[in-house]
Amino acid sequence: MDENAAARFRSKIVAGPEAHDCWIWTGAIGDDGYGRFWTPAPEGGQRMIRAHRYALALLTGSLDELDEFHVCHTCDNPICVRAEDGPSSHLYAGTAAQNMADRSRRGHHNKQPAAAFFRYETKQERAATARVLRDHVRAHGYDPEAVAVLLRKVTTGQQRLF
């Protein structure tokens, strides 16, 4: 892994203060709502990699090791890049079948629960929500209450209706 690219990548992360918080990607966000990162391509020039894939590659030491895998989020936040060893990680490598099973287990199918963030949104709406979150964190840092409002569209202390 290119050390200059890794340092540039890390400079675009704002980590939440709590052990369970997301690490928010503050770089480019694609039209699908996922972070984008450009790194030197082996043949010269640059290539784009989704930020969460690059985060997990930094942990494993190689992008090539992830070629056969999906990089899955446990937090449902497409701009989270929290890749760590152990249970605090929000990212893990899984097969397509594991990704679909996890997605289904958490209610990510055609009719998703209204309380879940990013679930009812189209790709364009997800991208807009991700950019609002990114821009807020860039401007104000990681404020847990504001992040919760932006991600879940709930306020602190709000209880579920059902």
CA 127/CA 46 separation, integer angstroms: 23
Residue type, 76: D
Greater confidence (91 vs 107) lies with 91
Tell me the β-bridge partners of 17: none
When pLDDT is cut at 50, 70 and 90, the band that residue 36 belongs to is very high
Using alpha carbons, select from 113, 117, 92, 115 the residue that is nearest to residue 104: 113
Q: What pLDDT, on the 0 to 100 scale, is given for residue 145?
A: 87
Q: What percent of the chain has pLDDT over 70?
A: 84
Q: Which of these, 67, 78, 65, 66, lies nearest to 123 by C-alpha position?
A: 78
Q: What is the value of pTM for the model shown? A: 0.81
Which residue, chain included where needed, has tokens 């997301």? 22
Nearest residue to 24 via CA among 145, 124, 133: 133
Mean pLDDT value across residues 57-84: 86
Which pLDDT belongs to residue 40? 87
Residue 121 has pLDDT above 80, yes or no: no
Whether 114 shows a pLDDT value over 80: the answer reads no
* Buried residues in 40-49 as b, exposed as e (16+ CB within 10 A): eeeeeeeeeb
pLDDT score at 116: 46
Mean pLDDT, residues 20-27 taken together: 94
Average pLDDT taken over every residue of the chain? 82
Question: Closest Cα to residue 88, out of 15, 8, 13?
Answer: 15
pLDDT in tens, 8-20: 999 999 999 998 8
For 66-79, what is each residue's pLDDT tens digit? 778 888 888 888 99
How many CA atoms within 13 Å lie on the side-chain side of 71? 30
Secondary structure letter of residue 89 according to DSSP: -
Q: Indicate the domain borders of the chain.
A: 3-152
In sequence order, the β-bridge partners of residue 39 are 47
Strand partners, 80: 24
